[in-house]
Amino acid sequence: MKKSTTTKSTATKSATSKSESPSQLIDARIKELGDWRGKTLAHVRAFIKQAVPEVVEEWKWRGVPVWEDAGIICTGETYKSVVKLTFAKGASLQDPSGLFNSSLEGNVRRAIDIHEDDEIDKAAFKALIRAAAALNRSKAR
């Protein structure tokens, strides 16, 4: 999958200046997208913060929003036709609601691809976020 050219951004350029916090850079990415992808990223970001209030936001790999708690919980990449949430240890998580729909063949990561008209199961998503954070904390001990 190719990244959309719209992901080349002022937010990415700002990352090199170190003048903005990761949260400000994520805010800028959401605003810059200005379409369903920005709205989707904003919604999942809010759900992540609700699920794990102590989550740390990072900006890595030249412009990828990352949410961490004792390690990476997930990343939020935006492509032309999908918002992809990749869970660093997704293969180790129970997913009874079947949210994972991408990167299913790997031994470590799993992803959720969200398309324009997809509905997000808020409760299941928040449970998955909490489980990922708990897994990270259990491995950090």
Arithmetic mean of pLDDT, 22-50: 96
Arithmetic mean of pLDDT, 108-118: 97
The confidence score (pLDDT) of residue 16 equals 44
Domain boundaries, the chain: 18-140
| Residues facing residue 116 across a β-bridge | none
The confidence score (pLDDT) of residue 125 equals 98
Topology (CATH) of 18-140: Aspartate Aminotransferase, domain 1 (3.90.1150)
Percent share of the chain, pLDDT over 70: 87
H/E stretch holding 111 reads strand 110-114
CA pair distance 7, 64, nearest whole angstrom = 9
DSSP label of 18: T
* CB contact at 8 A, 33 and 42: no
Query: What are the pLDDT digits (tens) for 119-141?
Result: 999 999 999 999 999 999 998 76
Banded pLDDT at 18 (limits 50, 70, 90): low
Read off the pTM: 0.85
Arithmetic mean of pLDDT, 89-111: 95
What residues have CB less than 8 Å from 59, skipping those under 6 apart?
11, 15, 22, 25, 26, 65, 66
Q: Which of 8-12, 40-44, 46-50, 60-64 has the lowest mean pLDDT?
A: 8-12
Banded pLDDT at 50 (limits 50, 70, 90): very high
Q: What is the 3-state secondary structure (H, E, C) of 57-103?
A: EEEECCCEEEEECCCEEEEEEECCCCEEEEECCHHHCCCCCCCCCEC
